[in-house]
Chain A
Amino acid sequence: MNLSRRTFLRIAGVGALSLALPELALRRLVADDAKPLSQTPPGPSLVVVFLRGGADALNILVPWADKRYYDLRPSIAILPEKTQDAAGVIKLDKTFGLHPSLAALKPHFDASRLAPICCVGSPHSTRSHFDAQDFMERGAPGARAVNTGWLNRYLNATNKNTKSSDEQLRAVAMQSLLPRALRGDFPVLAVPDERVLNDGQLMGLFDKIYNDGKKNEPAKEGMGEEKRENSVEDTGKDTVETLKRYKEILKRPIDGNRARFPEDALGKRLKDVATVIRAGVGLEVASFDINGWDDHVNEGDQLSTRLKSLGDGLAAFVDDLGEKASNTLVVVMTEFGRTCRENGNEGTDHGHGGCMLLMGGKLKGGKVHGQWTGLEEKDLYEKRDLAVTTDYRDVFAEVLRGHLKFDSPKDFFPEYSPKPVAGLF
């Protein structure tokens, strides 16, 4: 049992009252009890959005100036200029533009807050979703023996306290299922769906069972002494306390959300992340998935709808954070890109090289990063897919270093030494 953690959680969890205190005061309270005061200024936050299914890089970051692009995609290409029927590409430079549904991101590109990276991906050749996702989330392409996510390894490596679940809100997953990137030795709270949070009866019942606090039984039969600290009872206690705390944070109208988020799953999650960040409870890493990017058929409209949600959501997120946006970096990624050539169903199949969108923080945005190799057949991977010129681990390492001020140690990415991504930060 760890007294300071309990006190820490209790103080932070007293309810709306304490959370309504000015942020600094709250942090002092917390710090007095559990941490040295030097930690008062809130640190940077990283938000990772994973587009599951292999989002089509070429229709997100569109190489509008390349004639080959239009040859390869006669029916689904984004046109260079708008026509009567279709919106045109949003030009970023002489090579690239954004999908028109991402219009809300253009001002952020102009303000140097948005940095797309082209041709990012894995050295591994897999076109399997789950292999590619697992490899990416673990930062370990091809290494099936690795079972920890790269974000969890970061949390674990920077965990100052020996009692592992001390800092529950250093990281949250904005979904019931913990994304693989957050799995590992450091305990991360996967935020359950609202039905759990809003079921007063359920919360009341298990608050009683796990968090009554009146009786702490001595270790008895079973669960050997050394295992007590990670007992089911403790996990339950952490669950109740963190849920309550989380609920309070979400309830708290921190000078009101400034921005209007899209009314969908992505908008909701981004809004929740923004709320937690603005509550200033030390959130370092948040992550969630958006499913459904596997556009084998009729890509046009579906991708358009999803990108509109993504673009508007991200723009709202940055607006909502205000000045905190400069301390918050969003990374949008997907497991692989798709075939350069459209298939027979106005869709695309699993490919290789993809793209990433980075936004916020102290990025040097306003320019498309990465090395573009073009769409000539000889330049494609296996003559069909976008080549990979930037290993995603290089970007991860750069994000950890540039944003979270963490130099990944040797073998943080198993058997790989990341190369710097010049000019990102």
Chain B
Amino acid sequence: MSRHLARFAALVLLAGTASLAVNPNVFAEDIPSAKAKEAPKGLDDDQRIVHFLNRFTLGCTPALVAEVKAKGLKAWLQAQLMGTEKEPQFLRDRLTDMRSLELSSAQIADQFVEKPGKDATPRERREARELENTPARELTDSIILRGVYSANQVREVSADIFRNHFAVSLDKGPVKLMAVDYERNVVRRYALDQFGAMLKASAHHPAMLFYLDNCLSCRPATPEELEAIARRGKNNPERVERARQRGLNENYARELMELHTLGVDNYYTQDDVINVAKCLTGWGISPRHEENPLAFWFRADFHSTGDKTVLGQTIKPNIYNPQAEGEEVLDLLIAHKGTARFIAFKLCRWLVNDQPSDAVVGRIAAVFEKTKGDLAACYMAIYEDPEFFNTVNYMAKYKRPFEFAVSALRATGSEIKDCAAIQRGLVAMAEPLYRCANPTGYYDHAEAWQDPGAMSLRWKAAMDLAKGRIPGVKVPDSLYADLPQDKPEQWKDRLAAKLLCVPLSETTSHALDDYVARALKDNPRVKARELGPEIVAGLLGSPEFQKQ
């Protein structure tokens, strides 16, 4: 890695701001650096690689640029789309150490939930709480670790997209016990597979069934049933009331069309929402006392009988297998052209531009339809699309907080012992993993994130990271090892070449030179190891690093 890195560093120095390194009058007002690079018609070869990695990884690094350069873009992407690149051993070890990650929801409930007794001490209660929160913590930590260290970056990007597309929140009741399985068997399993398979997996998953309340949705009680309940429940008026009030819950049916497939108010009406909800009545979660608790469980007695019409199509009641009605609805939605268009738009927004053109969305939608929603094929099609490498897309996307954090950790080659402080940082920057307050998931366009208050938090995070103030996270000393103590005017460029994949803008370059000059004036003997972190903070907080 270090050899590639050094080679690329040299390359960047030559291509970009090399003049600085050899210019003795380094702090002069006028720096003729970026002049040679008048905006070219298209991206040059290096820029193409950087752009490609900006979109298809969670943080382009100079080392990765070198790797892709050696292998070729398409070959690299093809290998990535298999999702079978060997993971670094230490990542595998770290993931293995997390004992909940491979467990089923039932096992998690069994091993991590201990209700403290009535006489439990505060300490016992706290320990029980911590135990119960362990799976959620390991889940979110694993996402950070994989994002930073995984060799399968395209899969991580896709998982990031669909974790938000099919968002569930750890903050809603038992979801925190079921989300580990959700991430593993919905998001990750199908991240490079068929969209339809992922949709179906999410629709059957207890985390989703609970999160969007479908497990509560059922046909209204018949008058006879109410009478019977009233007779039996004389002493329990609440039970009668509950029975009277039970009924259809439209929550999931609506989001299924609005957020997961067709897009808001696209093709469907309120009647469709009600009918889809009816088809899905009975899709619930197996209770604790069942042999396999916290799994998909169809409750026939909840199911709404009778004909349903969804998107103009009649769903015939299936007496022998009423669950099949819901499956039919899902198939209908998966094959719908509105879904192809909606998912294509989303992929293009994440991977091409905040405002993708109709043309590119149309082309990707066609691939989606043709391949029956093969996500890997869609990703390849985006890479091969004539618009993908358009200069207007280059460095045109603002990083989300998650992308900012992961890319900063990747760029600095940080060693992560403990993710807790990183998770807190994501809370502060308003994007805690698996805790989006809305079923919409976190948005992926600049409007949602680019506001001044949030910006200053990135600067703080950059400074904290560089200065070693994030507990459990360490920027390796080696980052500073080759800074020549007697040539402080080179420090910035050397560090920039290690952290950034694009040349520094004239403004940033100038500002950092100025900053270094001033620090030297204050303390001519300042060590590279002392001032280096401040330069790193400046680089990570620079406009260049906020974009991808």
Contact = CB atoms under 8 A, between A and B. Distances in A.
A168 B452 CA distance: 10
Interface in B444-470: 446-447, 450-457, 459-460, 463
A144 interface: yes
Residue of B452, B510, B538 with most partner-chain A CB within 10 A: B452
Contacts of B538: 205-206, 208-209
Interface in A173-231: 173, 176-178, 185, 187-192, 195-196, 199, 201-202, 204-206, 208-210, 212, 214-217, 220-224, 227, 230-231
B88 to A, nearest CB: 32
A236 B392 contact: no
A206 B506 contact: no
* Interface size bracket, A side: 35 or more
Interface string B236-279: 00000100010000000011001000001100000000000000
Given A145-B264, A208-B514, A209-B542, A239 B452 contact: yes
B459 A202 contact: yes
A345 B463 CA distance: 45
Given A128-B172, A188-B451, A220-B39, A233 B507 contact: yes
A242 interface: yes
Contacts of A196: 456-457, 459-460
Interface stretch (B9-17, B301-309, B393-401): B393-401
A406 interface: no
B73 interface: no
B428 interface: yes
Interface in B199-257: 241, 245, 254-255
Interface of A: 128, 130, 133-134, 144-145, 147, 168, 173, 176-178, 185, 187-192, 195-196, 199, 201-202, 204-206, 208-210, 212, 214-217, 220-224, 227, 230-233, 235-236, 238-239, 242-243, 382-383
A232 B146 CA distance: 28
B547 A222 contact: yes
A236 B506 CA distance: 16
A419 B47 CA distance: 58
A262 B4 CA distance: 58
A205 B460 contact: no
A235 B457 contact: no
A382 B245 contact: yes
A206 B541 contact: yes
A222 B55 CA distance: 14
B463 A201 contact: yes
Contacts of A133: 437
* Interface size bracket, B side: 35 or more
Contacts of A144: 254-255, 258, 438-440
B507 A209 contact: yes
Contacts of A178: 430, 451, 453-454
Given A233-B507, A233-B543, 4 more contacts: A145-B265, A235-B451, A235-B452, A236-B455
B507 A239 contact: no
Contact of A224 (B241, B396, B439, B534): B396
Interface of B: 29, 34, 39-40, 43, 47, 169, 171-172, 241, 245, 254-255, 258, 264-265, 391-396, 398, 428, 430, 437-440, 446-447, 450-457, 459-460, 463, 505-508, 510-512, 514-515, 534, 537-538, 541-543, 546-547
Contact of B460 (A168, A185, A199, A227): A199
Given A212-B510, A235-B450, A205 B537 contact: yes
B430 A232 contact: no
17 contacts: A145-B258, A173-B453, A190-B453, A191-B453, A196-B460, A205-B538, A206-B541, A208-B514, A209-B542, A216-B507, A230-B446, A232-B450, A232-B543, A233-B543, A235-B450, A235-B451, A382-B241
B515 A199 contact: no
Given A196-B456, A239-B456, A202 B463 contact: yes
A238 B450 CA distance: 11
B460 A195 contact: yes
A222 B451 contact: no
Contacts of A199: 460, 463
A212 B507 contact: yes
Residue of B398, B455, B505 with most partner-chain A CB within 10 A: B455
Nearest to B264: A145
Residue of B440, B456, B507, B538 with most partner-chain A CB within 10 A: B456
Contacts of B546: 232
Contacts of B451: 178, 187-190, 235
B523 to A, nearest CB: 13
A221 B39 contact: yes
Contacts of B438: 130, 134, 144
Given A130-B171, A189-B452, A215-B507, A210 B463 contact: no
B445 to A, nearest CB: 12
